Amino acid sequence: MATTKMLTLKDIEPGQVCIVEGLGTKSMLRKRIIDMGVTIGTKIEVRKLAPLGDPMEIYIRGYHLSLRKAEAAEVVVRMV
Amino acid sequence: MDLHIALVGNPNSGKTTLFNDLTGSTQYVGNWPGVTVEKKTGKMKYEGKQIQVTDLPGIYSFSTYSLEEVIAREFVEEGAIDVVVNIVDASNLQRNLFLSLQLIEMKKPVVIALNMMDVLESRGVTLDIAALSEALHVPVVPIVASKGKGIVELMKAVEATVGKEVILPDVYHSDVESIISEIERKLPIEPCSRTHAIRFLEDGVVATVGHAMDPLALASLNQWVDEKVSKRLMDRDMIISDEKYSFITSITDKITSNTKTSEVKTTSDKIDSVLTHKYLAIPIFLLIMFGVFSMAFGPVGSFFKEYFEIFIEEVVISGIAGFLVSVGVSEWLYSLVVDGILAGVGSVLSFLPEISILFLMLSILEDSGYMARAAFIMDRLLRRFGLSGRSFIPMIMGFGCTVPALMAARTLESERDRRLTMIITPFMSCGARFPVYAVFAAAFFTDSQPLVVFSIYLLGIFVAVISGIILKRFVTKGRVSSFIMELPEYRLPTIKNLWLHTWDRIKGFIIKAGTIILVAMVVIWFLQSYDFAFALVEDSADSIFGRLGQAIAPIFAPLGFGEWRAAMSLIVGLIAKEAVVGTLGVLYGVGETAVESPELLTGPLKEVFTPLSAYAFMAFTLLYMPCIAAFATMKREMNSWKWTLIAVGYQTGVAWFVAFAIYQGGIWLQLG
């Protein structure tokens, strides 16, 4: 993986749409994120942040998913 | 039983509703052996056949090894199930079908119950159900669980599926398929060798113990898989899920037709834009909490409570007491039944109206989908204390009564969060502790009563927060807590579900009052009425309890109240915290009326306590082990003696140290 800072889901502003490029983490959470439908090539729309700034709400595969920013930082994305 | 079916599905897919449709009031709620995950079973009759239904925990997938997932997987793999009914939320098809594919791979006969077609149709989307069924090789039956529609058709399909051979759908590309078959051939772990093979492909681990594969062969197989998959530019653990989702997308693209061109904002989205609004969310949340709270413990709750108490005292207790007198039972038996059992169980049951309202409110919040949002809103704040957003509800409820608060901790996903929340929740000062503060504040802090009482409440919150920060280091071990959670559509709860949901919890509370508390009452009554020679005592100071109070009193000396009557009242407070006041009343010779007229206690208390030691006593009352009902609840919910004892040990230890710090610190500062 490149050493330059990659764009991750955490950096996406509410209202923006991005595409999943890959996943960073090797932890148990990784599998969970994948199983929730965050696979390569999937379109994700960031809907909003919780009032205190974390977690975030995304729209993916026709449903709403919440995840913490720390978890979103493991999802590498590109803008559409 | 003629047939055994299991319900499997995502959380929020309507699984519980379907379970209620099928089994009605025959359901039985217990725990899965050794864990705190709820197990629901029920019976139904269909065309003269007895059918047993097991409701498995709501899960998103079988593969991440959470407790719920492991339970569900093992049950499906090893349980004697004839048919698995997989409930699928049609309005959230892709993610729901992911679980379906995993289920079908286990080669169990599966019937898909396609729920919430009405939601989908209201969005202008139609589904080709026959095509879905054909692609998956399983029967698909549309149902509307909330209205009980399609149940008969579902059961017909279930019956027709019993004993049928399972044909797997063509999910994977041929290269992946050949890897799976090869692993399956080399690693024949029955049952469900395919599932094991797939798991091996994903992470190179054999999940089952006791397989016959030798480590060397396993390593070389692992290497072989590595080489094979390297052709794909994707990590090994992603391939299977990626292929599954590709397959699902190809199906859903084929079978859905959208009549509305642009995406419309659903009602749910509109509600959500207000309820999770950047600035409005927190005020609304607090308002809702306040509403729930004041319904249960405010005018409405206390109205019912008052009449219910009268009913218990005047009708039930007097009735039984009268009956006992009329049949001429001996004095000790009368005392045991009336003063021991009835008084104790009655005082716990008197909370029933308030608790029922609380349970009903919670069920509404949960069934409507708001609970997930509340967690979403509060998560950031609570994470700092080692908790999760979902811990907030139990903690808030703790201000009312610790028992339902502990039961509400069930909504927490991870066992670790659940444990931590249950250890901390009793620090929220429950309603029963208030009379104690009232008496002491009136006696020692005449000018600043409200402030002193308020400071005790704050002390509870403060101790809870500090405990969270400290304990998270010890209890966190193991699983990482996450917040990868669905935010479901808002829904109008149905009366039937609300009723069943609420009744479930009420029943749990009554059963507890009727069993564990009853036994505890008998024991406590005995200890209070007899001395070590097992003779009935006149003066409770001579009883086993009184002696015990005298024996443990020195423990409280450094806290400023090393006096046997204070010590004993704290022990009796374990029955119900408000009993502390009644006991002090009896022991100081002003009678139990101390609860109604606290000023009677002022004089005697002033002889024993100083304002400083009184405050330490209040702090101790706030923090030490909760009442026996809460203890029993904790045991049931934690399903572990070890953790229950750790929890109450911690609470009592903290109570001692805090009271110690207050008293000794106060003396040092020359406040005493």
So where are chain A's domains? 9-79
**Residue B254 pLDDT class (50, 70, 90 cuts):** very high
B415 lies in some domain: no
Domain boundary among B120, B136, B161: B161
Helix or strand holding residue B51 (H, E)? strand B49-55
Are residue B41 and residue B147 in the same domain, yes or no? yes
Are residue B155 and residue B223 in the same domain, yes or no? no
B130 lies in some domain: yes
Answer with the residue of higher pLDDT: A66 or B496: A66
* Total-model pTM: 0.81
Q: How far apart are CA B672 and CA B660, in angstroms?
A: 13
Are residue B128 and residue B222 in the same domain, yes or no? no
Query: Which residues, numbered 192 to 231 in chain B, qualify as contacts with chain A under a Cβ-Cβ cut-off of 8 Å?
Result: 202
B550 near B569, Cβ under 8 Å?
Answer: no
Closest CA to B21 of B134, B121, B199, B147: B147
Are residue B187 and residue B156 in the same domain, yes or no? no
Across residues B63-81, what is the average pLDDT? 82
pLDDT digits (tens, 9 = 90+) for B508-545: 777 766 676 677 777 777 887 888 888 877 777 788 88
The residue range of the domain holding B200 is 174-258
| Neighbouring C-alpha atoms within 13 Å toward the C-beta of B143 | 34
Are residue B118 and residue B235 in the same domain, yes or no? no
| Yes or no, beta carbons of A23 and B61 under 8 Å apart | no
Looking up tokens 């029963």 gives B432
The alpha carbons of chain B give a radius of gyration, in whole angstroms, of 29
Closest Cβ opposite residue B237 in set A31, A49, A67: A31
Q: How far apart are CA B250 and CA B247, in angstroms?
A: 5
Q: Give residues with Cβ within 8 angstroms of B404, minimum separation 6.
A: B355, B358, B359, B362, B397, B505, B509
pLDDT digits (tens, 9 = 90+) for B164-220: 888 999 999 988 999 999 888 888 777 778 888 888 888 877 765 556 667 788 888
Q: In chain B, which residues have their Cβ closer than 8 Å to the Cβ of A52?
A: 377, 379-381
| Yes or no, beta carbons of A36 and B484 under 8 Å apart | yes
Q: In chain B, which residues have their Cβ closer than 8 Å to the Cβ of A61?
A: 92, 94-95
Are residue B7 and residue B101 in the same domain, yes or no? yes
Across chain B, mean pLDDT equals 85
Task: Indicate the SS3 state at residue B592.
Answer: helix
| Amino acid sitting at position B423 | I
Query: Which residues, numbered 277 to 296 in chain B, qualify as contacts with chain A under a Cβ-Cβ cut-off of 8 Å?
Result: 277-279, 281-282
Query: What CATH class is the domain A9-79?
Result: mainly beta
Beta strands in B70-170 (DSSP E): 83-89, 110-115, 125-127, 140-142
For residue A30 the two structure tokens come to 């990784």
Q: How far is A38 from chain B (nearest CA, A)?
A: 9
pLDDT digits (tens, 9 = 90+) for B418-449: 889 999 999 998 878 887 888 888 889 988 88
Q: Give residues with Cβ within 8 angstroms of B110, minimum separation 6.
A: B83, B84, B85, B86, B100, B103, B104, B138, B161, B166
| Amino acid sitting at position B203 | D
Bond before B611 cis per omega within 30 degrees: no
Are residue B52 and residue B126 in the same domain, yes or no? yes
Are residue B40 and residue B121 in the same domain, yes or no? yes
B456 near B622, Cβ under 8 Å?
Answer: yes
B292 near B362, Cβ under 8 Å?
Answer: yes
How would you classify the pairing of strands B3-9 and B83-89? parallel
Are residue B95 and residue B187 in the same domain, yes or no? no
B341 near B354, Cβ under 8 Å?
Answer: no
pLDDT at B617 over 80: yes
| Yes or no, beta carbons of B238 and A57 under 8 Å apart | no
For residue B86 the two structure tokens come to 């997989």
Specify the CATH number for the domain of residue B234: 1.10.287.1770
Domain count, chain B: 2
**Residue A69 pLDDT class (50, 70, 90 cuts):** very high
CB burial of residue B231 (10 Å; 0-12, 13-18, 19+): exposed
pLDDT digits (tens, 9 = 90+) for B284-341: 998 998 888 778 777 888 888 888 888 888 888 889 889 999 998 888 888 888 877 7
Q: How far is B520 from chain A (nearest CA, A)?
A: 43
| Yes or no, beta carbons of A36 and B63 under 8 Å apart | no
| Yes or no, beta carbons of B276 and A48 under 8 Å apart | yes
Q: How far is A27 from chain B (nearest CA, A)?
A: 9
Domain boundary among B134, B161, B188: B161
Q: How far apart are CA B464 and CA B399, in angstroms?
A: 13
- Look at residue B531 in the predicted model and tell me its pLDDT: 85
Q: How far apart are CA B230 and CA B491, in angstroms?
A: 46
Ordered strands of the A75-79 beta sheet: A75-79, A17-23, A43-49, A56-60, A63-67, B485-486
Q: How far apart are CA B626 and CA B542, in angstroms?
A: 26
Q: How far apart are CA B531 and CA B52, in angstroms?
A: 52
Are residue B119 and residue B239 in the same domain, yes or no? no
**Residue A3 pLDDT class (50, 70, 90 cuts):** very low
Are residue B61 and residue B192 in the same domain, yes or no? no
ipTM score of complex: 0.93
Are residue B18 and residue B116 in the same domain, yes or no? yes
Domain boundary among B125, B140, B161: B161
pLDDT at A6 over 90: no
| Yes or no, beta carbons of A35 and B241 under 8 Å apart | yes
- Look at residue B657 in the predicted model and tell me its pLDDT: 96
- Look at residue B479 in the predicted model and tell me its pLDDT: 56
